[in-house]
Amino acid sequence: MKIIIMGKSAAGKNYLARKMKELGLTQIVTDTTRAMRPGERDGVDYNFVSEKDFLRNISESKYMEYKSYETINGTVYYGSRSTAFENGDFIILTPFGVKDIAPILESRKIKYQTILLDADKDLRLQRSLKRGDKVEEVLRRYDKDERDFRNVEAAICFNTTEWTDREVTAAAEMLRDLCRK
């Protein structure tokens, strides 16, 4: 079973992903054209690719789903390669990514479970600023998140506002067990 993690900006998606990887699960790494943040690693957090390469991959139908976003730095792209999806256990997607990929997974008879992470808005703001995001971009993403996550449902929801390391590990263990079903 594949695990699909969703969450607003700075809700704790990458924190949970790190714990899941520590437990032996393999993340389905998506491609992006955005700039790498401090601490991120190419091929681990994302596959950082040029816009030219990303657009070529689209024309060659290499993505199961992809999206573009207008940011303060211009257009950025994110996409999930079909080949990467076959080999991984979990992926981080937006609600629109889930909407696009769900019918493909169902047609391929691939079982999946959606997970929604949520956290207090003020805490998410603190997390975003702490990781060095520009205020203007944080505000843009928060506004977009409010629209994108309206009426989103998931099989399992976690509130990450007061997550301790032990609680994150327990959640990762639960998802590992679910993956192995």
CA-based nearest residue to 144, from 6, 1, 9: 9
The count of C-alpha atoms lying within 13 angstroms of the C-alpha of 54, restricted to the half-sphere facing its C-beta, is: 21
Number of Cβ within 10 Å of residue 109's Cβ equals 6
User: Mean pLDDT score of the chain, rounded to an integer?
Assistant: 92
Q: Which residue has the higher pLDDT, 126 or 155?
A: 126
pLDDT score, position 53: 98
The whole domain housing 169 covers 2-179
Count up the domains in the chain and report the number.
Answer: 1
Kindly list the distances between the CA atom of residue 122 and the CA atoms of 47, 88, 118, 139, 152, in Å, as whole numbers in the listed order.
Answer: 30, 33, 12, 12, 20
Number of Cβ within 10 Å of residue 58's Cβ equals 14
Q: Say whether 3 sits in a helix, a strand or coil.
A: strand
The pLDDT tens digits of the residues spanning 73-111 come to 899 999 999 888 888 999 999 999 999 999 999 999 999
pLDDT mean over 5-32: 95
Q: What share of residues in the chain are helix, strand, coil (percent, to 5)?
A: 45, 25, 35
Q: Say whether 147 sits in a helix, a strand or coil.
A: helix
pLDDT mean over 30-35: 96
Give me the amino acid identity at 98: V
pLDDT score, position 133: 81
User: C-alpha dihedral over 23, 169, 101, 42, to 10 degrees?
Assistant: -60
Residue 181 has pLDDT above 80, yes or no: no
pLDDT score, position 148: 92
Query: What CATH number corresponds to the domain at position 24?
Result: 3.40.50.300
Residue 26 has pLDDT above 90, yes or no: yes
Residue 137 has pLDDT above 90, yes or no: no
